[in-house]
Amino acid sequence: MQNYVFVVDTNKQPLNPISPKKARRLLDKGKAAVFRMYPFTIILKTAVDNPTISPCQIKIDPGSKVTGFALVQNHQVIWGMELEHRGGLIKKKLESRRAVRRGRRNRNTRYRKPRFLNRRRPGGWLAPSLEHRVLTIETWVKRLTKFCPVDEIWIERVKFNTQKIQNPEINGVEYQQGELAGYEVREYLLEKWGRECTYCGKKSVPLQIEHIRPKSKGGSDRVSNLCLACEKCNQRKGNKPIEEFIKKKPNLLQKIKTKAKQPLLDAAAVNTTRNKLVKVLQRIKPVITGTGAQTKYNRTKLGFPKEHWIDAACVGNIETLVLKTSQPLLVTCKGQGGRQKAVLNKHGYPIRHNPLRPIKGWCSGDIAKNLLTGKFGRVNPRSKSNSFNYTVPRKKAISLHVKNLTRVHRKDGYTYGFC
C-alpha cells in the first residue's frame, strides 16, 4: 500500500488526499497534472465548487537521528515519512573548520589576545547540530500544511531520565550524587577498571586515561567514555574505534561496553530540543503533546511493528487506528551544499576553485529520470563535460550523458526514496 497523494485546487489550496488509484485516473484523463514529485502532489485543472474538507492531524515522533511523521485522517494513517537528520555531519564539519582556522591563525598571523568573553549567546540558543533538527522538522510541517488540510499537530514530548538510563535502581538523594561523588577522576577509574589495563589486563604498570570512543570519532570526556590502558595498548589503539581494535576478542568487547554503560548522546539531543520544538510548532498550528509511554502502549495494543513513522501515528490518546499505507517516504537531509569558493588542503590553503552553480542548468542534488532505464537518481553535474555523475539509491554512481536525463525535482536539500 502506497502513501496517499496530495491534491491542490486551481488556486493551490489543499484538498483531501486521495488514493494512488484515483490520482492515476485523474492524470490519465487529463483532469490533473503533477504539481510536485516529493511529496507527490497533483493539481486539478478545473475549479471545484464547495469541496468537502476532512481535516488531518500531523503526528510527529522526534528522534536524535530519525524523526517519524504520519498524517492521520478519521483514524486512518494515510501518509508516512521518516526523516533522517544530519546533525552528526554538521558537528564534524564545524570541528574541521575550527581546526583549520586555528592552525592558520597560529602559523601565519601575529599574536592576538583571545576574544571569547565578548561573545554572548542569546537566550534559547542551541548548538547548530541541534538547531538543525528543530528547523528541519519545522520546514516539513510547513510544507505538509501547504498540501494537506491540517488542523492540529500531535507530537511526542518525551523527557529522558539520563541518570536512570545508566542506573535503573537510582532513587532519592542518589540523584544528587553523580558517579564521581567522593572521587577524583583517576581514582574513580582505577577502582572501576580494577587497576589493570582494560585491553591486555596487565597490572602493576603505569596506566594512562584512554577514551573508549575516540574524541576524533565523536567521543566525549564523560567518565562513562573513559578507561585505563597501558602505554603500549594506548599507542596501538590510537584513534581506532574499539570495535576495530579488539574485533578478534568479542567477549572482551562486550565486557567493556557493558561496564562503560551506554552513551547518552541521543537522549541528550532529544531532551535539549523538546521544548523549543513545541514552541516553534505552536506558531504554525495548535499542538497536542503525548508521552513516550503512551505511544508504546498504543503501538503494543494495536499490534503494530516498531518503526519511526508508526510510532508517530501512535502518538497521543487514541482508541483505534487503521494503516492505509505501508510504504513511507524516506527522506535524508543532505543540506544545500557549501558556499565554499575553493577547496582547501589539510593546511588550510586553497588547492582548486569550485565552479559557479548551476552548471548547464543543473545543480548537484537535482533528481532526474534516466530515459534509458526509467529509474530515478541524483545528479552531480560536471563543468567540463556533458556527461554527469548519476547515482541511483544503493547503487554505484555512473556517468550519463545529459541528453539521457530529464529533471523531475530540483534540489531542495534532501534526497528521497521508499522502503
The pLDDT-based confidence of 406 (bands split at 50, 70, 90) is very high
Residues 60, 147: one domain? yes
| Domain boundary residue, one of 200, 227, 262 | 262
Q: What is the mean pLDDT of residues 250-264?
A: 79
What CATH number does residue 215 fall under? 1.10.30
The pLDDT-based confidence of 172 (bands split at 50, 70, 90) is low
The candidate with the shortest Cα–Cα distance to 153, out of 142, 163, 164, 166, is 142
| Under 8 Å between Cβ of 31 and 126 | no
In a domain, 132, yes or no: yes
Residues 136, 284: one domain? yes
Sign of the CA dihedral running 293, 295, 297, 300: negative
Mean pLDDT is lowest, of 65-79, 144-158, 177-191, 250-264, for 177-191
Distance between CA atoms of residues 341 and 276, nearest Å: 34
Mean pLDDT is lowest, of 89-98, 261-270, 377-386, for 261-270
Residues 151, 83: one domain? yes
The pLDDT-based confidence of 182 (bands split at 50, 70, 90) is very low
Q: What is the mean pLDDT of residues 263-288?
A: 88
In a domain, 95, yes or no: no
User: Between the CA of residue 7 and those of 20, 47, 109, 328, what are the distances in Å?
Assistant: 11, 12, 59, 18
Task: Report pLDDT for 162.
Answer: 59
| Under 8 Å between Cβ of 258 and 235 | no
In a domain, 232, yes or no: yes
Q: Who has greater pLDDT, 184 or 84?
A: 84
In a domain, 176, yes or no: no
Residues 295, 150: one domain? yes
Residues 82, 68: one domain? yes
**Average pLDDT of the chain?**
87
Residues 235, 210: one domain? yes
Let me know how long the chain is. Answer: 419
The candidate with the shortest Cα–Cα distance to 291, out of 404, 157, 405, is 157
- 66 pLDDT more than 50: yes
Mean pLDDT is lowest, of 108-117, 129-138, 195-204, 351-360, for 108-117
In a domain, 18, yes or no: yes
Mean pLDDT is lowest, of 101-110, 179-188, 388-397, for 179-188
Residues 275, 286: one domain? yes
In a domain, 270, yes or no: yes
The candidate with the shortest Cα–Cα distance to 152, out of 77, 242, 55, is 55
Domain count, the chain: 4
Residues 311, 360: one domain? no
In a domain, 32, yes or no: yes
Residues 157, 62: one domain? yes
Residues 25, 60: one domain? no
- 108 pLDDT more than 80: no
The pLDDT-based confidence of 401 (bands split at 50, 70, 90) is very high
| Under 8 Å between Cβ of 83 and 140 | yes
User: Between the CA of residue 40 and those of 30, 116, 148, what are the distances in Å?
Assistant: 17, 48, 12
| Domain boundary residue, one of 262, 285, 307 | 262
Which residue type does 176 have? Q
What CATH number does residue 361 fall under? 2.30.30
Range of the domain at 317: 56-87+126-162+266-333
Task: Report pLDDT for 171.
Answer: 61
Task: Report pLDDT for 123.
Answer: 85
Of the chain, the percentage scoring pLDDT greater than 90 comes to: 52
Q: Who has greater pLDDT, 104 or 406?
A: 406
The predicted-structure confidence for 361-380, as pLDDT tens digits, reads as follows 999 999 999 999 999 999 99
Q: What is the mean pLDDT of residues 144-148?
A: 96
In a domain, 106, yes or no: no
The pLDDT-based confidence of 184 (bands split at 50, 70, 90) is low
Residues 391, 345: one domain? yes
Residues 193, 324: one domain? no
